[in-house]
Structure 1
Amino acid sequence: MPSPRPLSPLKTDLGNGRLATHHFSFLRALAEGLPALDAARRYLGVEGVAEAHAAHRAVVDQVQALARRRREKHWRLVGIEIRATPPSSVPSMADWAESEGLDGWSEAELLEMYQQRFGALDASARRRAARNERMRAQRLQLLKDLEVTAAERPSPLDPLDGWLNPELADELLKLGDLTLANLRARIARGGQWWRGLAAYGPTKAARLARYVELLLGEPMDSRSGAWPLATAQQRLTVLSGREGVNRADAGACATEARDDREAVRAWIAARAGSPHTAAQYEREAERFLLWCVIERRKALSDATAEDCRAYMDFIANVPSSWISRRKVARLAPGWAPFRGPLTLASQAVAIAAVHSLFAWLVQARYLVGNPWALVNRKLGDDPRSAGDDPAGSRAFTPAVWAAIKVHLAQHPNTASAQRLAWLCVFVEATGLRAAELLRARRGDLKPSGTGWLLRVHGKGRKNRTVPVPSSALAATRYYFEARGMDFDSADNEAPLLASLTDPTKAITYRALAETFSRLVKRVIPTLPLDERRSAERASTHWLRHTHATRAAEREVPLDVLQENLGQSDPRTTARYYRAQIVRRQDAMELAFGRSLDQVG
């Protein structure tokens, strides 16, 4: 019967002399009191109690054997458990004296002050505490001495069988991987790079990737195409921001956050008004936090104005090693913080989010100052953008809009066509966001003295009232009738936009987006070539832009349109009032189009 396969990727016996610095870091962490499972995860790249125990035993056995060969009389200290603190859970006298800066005091004087501070221990407890402290110090010194003389830095050209368990090394050899560099390149390719390894899935593959990163130390360069996941996790622990140079006095802090990651979570919880905003905030803060620890080797709370300027340059040209492979789960092998290069608009969003984070941290007295306030954050216009080109607009042109209406008119008796016809008429007339439309119910539509109004709970959890023009109301009455419901007597909870199978149930955003996308794809082949280019990019949000653009063209006052759209900044609404390119062309052609010899 074959022996069970080792759970840990590292070689069980590690080989004579095959000890690396991270093995000693693991043992030092144990000596300092870090739980064995946490130390194994951090320094050996393994998970789970059984795996951590096997890896622990393998490292201890090898280091003890090394110590015995070198005639170290305290070699047993490598593997025994030593209590780092007295049984009363108060700090040891040595740790307390160091934290208080009591250098130069005699042991008797320290003992007297220590007992005054924490109370007297009985004689046996003092002897145990003193003995444990001596043993812990001897153990740390032994590990330090052995590491200096015996720790080997793995080379990318080392054969796999020197660092991995034999079964795993043999399987990788069959796949063509001879060295650690070969394996690292396989991991860097991303995707399901572990295919061909028996009993390997994403979880075990992530552990092996972390272990390879631990062995080779420094993150791979941009040419290798892999993002240093294991290194990032280690540095986030070390560069936590607890001692950041920009940290304010903890006693005056208005948040309970102890480090940078907790501070980011506090900011998101306090300021994000919706799950979508929370996800966006988390993504942008995580990117900047990871960039700080990987590229600048400092905590977020150490960031300076120079770092902020450098980050702006970084996101303007994101390296390929920071771009994630397709269809890779977050923090899985092949994952990276960015999905692709950032447009100028995406860069502006990223900078605004991080600036907002730092401003809040200063207000919360977690940080002293905001380095982003010292940086020119203006990006200007994208030289590659379409500008006023109709193809660059996110509103349907009159020709495309007419083609959509013709297509729907050709299928008037289908439930899908009736729903889409109502959707186009209602949103063109009201300009609702997709989320607002999906939340709208019959009870939100109310008559007023001069017409009908729709109560909307919109972006930022703000309420507003939107006028419903007569055309939109007539389309709604017809749509309810097509669903077998009387508009006037319908239940208040009946959705305005309903499922095709159950007229009393609302639909999801995904269903709405897919339905509208299919409609546009059916219309595109009927369009002239010059109209197809813009329509191919259309989404349901284009309905809102179409409403705003048509309203501006028809000279609806800016303040009316701003209130109707629920936009807090009039500058956002004002962009729809720029003279449309077709009108500008007609005006210039009328003024200057005739040849000079015709002027007279």
Structure 2
Amino acid sequence: MTADIAPLEAFAVPPGLDGSAGSNRAPFPAEGSEFRSDIEAIHAWIRVRGVNSEHTARAYRREAERLLLWAVVARGKAFSSLSVSDVDTYLNGFLADPQPAGRWIGRAKAERFDPAWRPFTGPLPVSSRETARKVLSALCAWLVKVRYLLANPFDALPRLQVARPEVDTHGRTLTHAQQRDAFALLFAYATGLRRAELARATLAALDRKGRRHARRCVDAQGQGKGREGPVRADASEADGRAARPAAADARRSADARLRPARTAAAGKHDHRPADDG
């Protein structure tokens, strides 16, 4: 019996695949875990980890939902029976090309309970697959911690190598505006700030923590209370490069304003009476 693709809230798991007898279940689930099925355990993780952010809850639900659907529909396994080989195939094979497309890929704006809804809108790039690996590894680690799973199958997988874009931040070919844009991208990468925190971030928020510490920190202000985060060395160096064009513009502007006065003063000193030889 093949289950129909549906959102997590409406997914009907076939008998025998609900995880109650998963091969990766902890040895004493009745005593050590309060969850009776994979879906129940996943919902609990989403609720706990996404309690402070609806955006986080949606992102976590998306990744867990995709893996559960793939396990049951494509693999014919319970989520709690997935092996290292299974999750490797999922990350490095299926996510890169979800097939058959008619079953897995749909319109981007389809509502969750629209019959046209699908878990994907297309193949996932390496960066999105690495995000999936991190989220799903966190899910399984939590399930191990609460004694629902015996082991985390994602622990055996290496992180996916995401290529960083080459950006010339030394100013040899970029305009001043482009240098500032490059710094903004580098700053976001190097600090790991959330979107709301980036929107409020300024160079003034950068600070060195103590005389003996060469490492910089940034005071981040988001929608909740503020926090302090470390800044990679390349971003600390880049903030000076980004500030130099602005300083140069200011100097040129000041020079332009003072030039007429300097010219007039020079001319005044040049009109001296000639000597009577």
- Matched residue type, 1:258: R
Say if 1:379 and 1:577 are closer, same or farther in 2 by CA, change over 3 A: farther
- Answer whether contact 2:106 2:118 (CA < 8 A) is retained: yes
Map Cα deviations across residues 82-127 of structure 1 (whole Å, 9 max, x no partner). xxxxxxxxxxxxxxxxxxxxxxxxxxxxxxxxxxxxxxxxxxxxxx
- 1:288 paired residue number: 67
- Answer whether contact 1:548 1:576 (CA < 8 A) is retained: no
- Matched residue type, 1:375: L
- 1:239 paired residue number: 17
- Answer whether contact 1:548 1:561 (CA < 8 A) is retained: no
- Whether 1:259 and 2:41 are equivalent positions in the alignment is no
User: How far off is 1:388 after superposition?
Assistant: 2.2
- Aligned length, in residue pairs: 210
User: How far off is 1:434 after superposition?
Assistant: 5.9
- Matched residue type, 2:235: Y
Q: TM-score, normalised by structure 1?
A: 0.31
> Which residue of 80, 83, 96 corresponds with 1:316?
96
- Answer whether contact 1:567 1:573 (CA < 8 A) is retained: no
- 1:359 paired residue number: 141
1:566-585 superposed matches below 5 A: 566=227, 568=229, 570=230, 573-574=232-233, 576-577=235-236
SS at match of 2:95: helix
Say if 1:278 and 1:234 are closer, same or farther in 2 by CA, change over 3 A: closer
| Alpha-carbon distance between aligned partners in 2 of 1:550 and 1:387, rounded to the nearest angstrom | 26
| Alpha-carbon distance between aligned partners in 1 of 2:116 and 2:21, rounded to the nearest angstrom | 32
| Alpha-carbon distance between aligned partners in 2 of 1:291 and 1:558, rounded to the nearest angstrom | 48
- Matched residue type, 1:261: I
- Answer whether contact 1:235 1:294 (CA < 8 A) is retained: no
SS at match of 2:35: coil
User: How far off is 1:563 after superposition?
Assistant: 4.1
| Alpha-carbon distance between aligned partners in 2 of 1:389 and 1:237, rounded to the nearest angstrom | 57
- 1:301 paired residue number: 80
Say if 1:574 and 1:349 are closer, same or farther in 2 by CA, change over 3 A: farther
User: How far off is 1:374 after superposition?
Assistant: 1.9
- Matched residue type, 1:561: C
1:154-553 superposed matches below 5 A: 228-229=5-6, 233-235=11-13, 238-248=16-26, 249-254=28-33, 256-272=34-50, 273-313=52-92, 314-319=94-99, 320-321=101-102, 322-376=104-158, 378-382=159-163, 386-389=165-168, 398-399=176-177, 435=196, 541=198, 544=201, 547=202
- Matched residue type, 1:329: E
Map Cα deviations across residues 279-317 of structure 1 (whole Å, 9 max, x no partner). 111111111111111221101100000011111112233
| Alpha-carbon distance between aligned partners in 2 of 1:218 and 1:360, rounded to the nearest angstrom | 29
| Alpha-carbon distance between aligned partners in 2 of 1:368 and 1:575, rounded to the nearest angstrom | 41
User: How far off is 1:228 after superposition?
Assistant: 4.5
- In structure 1, stretches of 5+ residues that fail to align are 1-216, 220-226, 391-396, 403-431, 437-540, 584-600
| Alpha-carbon distance between aligned partners in 2 of 1:316 and 1:257, rounded to the nearest angstrom | 32
Say if 1:434 and 1:287 are closer, same or farther in 2 by CA, change over 3 A: closer
| Alpha-carbon distance between aligned partners in 2 of 1:401 and 1:352, rounded to the nearest angstrom | 32
- In structure 2, stretches of 5+ residues that fail to align are 170-174, 181-192, 208-212, 222-226, 243-277
User: How far off is 1:326 after superposition?
Assistant: 3.5
| Alpha-carbon distance between aligned partners in 2 of 1:238 and 1:325, rounded to the nearest angstrom | 31
- Answer whether contact 2:5 2:69 (CA < 8 A) is retained: no
Say if 1:379 and 1:326 are closer, same or farther in 2 by CA, change over 3 A: closer
| Alpha-carbon distance between aligned partners in 1 of 2:91 and 2:36, rounded to the nearest angstrom | 27
SS at match of 1:285: helix
Map Cα deviations across residues 325-381 of structure 1 (whole Å, 9 max, x no partner). 1321114222111233323322221111100111111111111111111222x1113
Say if 1:578 and 1:269 are closer, same or farther in 2 by CA, change over 3 A: same
- 2:258 paired residue number: none
- Answer whether contact 1:240 1:260 (CA < 8 A) is retained: yes
- Answer whether contact 1:242 1:260 (CA < 8 A) is retained: yes
Say if 1:308 and 1:285 are closer, same or farther in 2 by CA, change over 3 A: same
Higher relative CO (Cα under 8 Å, sequence separation at least 6) belongs to 2
| Alpha-carbon distance between aligned partners in 2 of 1:549 and 1:347, rounded to the nearest angstrom | 35
| Alpha-carbon distance between aligned partners in 2 of 1:362 and 1:283, rounded to the nearest angstrom | 20
- 1:561 paired residue number: 217
| Alpha-carbon distance between aligned partners in 2 of 1:558 and 1:276, rounded to the nearest angstrom | 35
SS at match of 1:276: helix
User: How far off is 1:262 after superposition?
Assistant: 0.6
- Matched residue type, 1:279: R
Map Cα deviations across residues 519-559 of structure 1 (whole Å, 9 max, x no partner). xxxxxxxxxxxxxxxxxxxxxx5674xx469969xxxx874
Pairwise CA RMSD: 3.9
- Answer whether contact 1:362 1:368 (CA < 8 A) is retained: yes
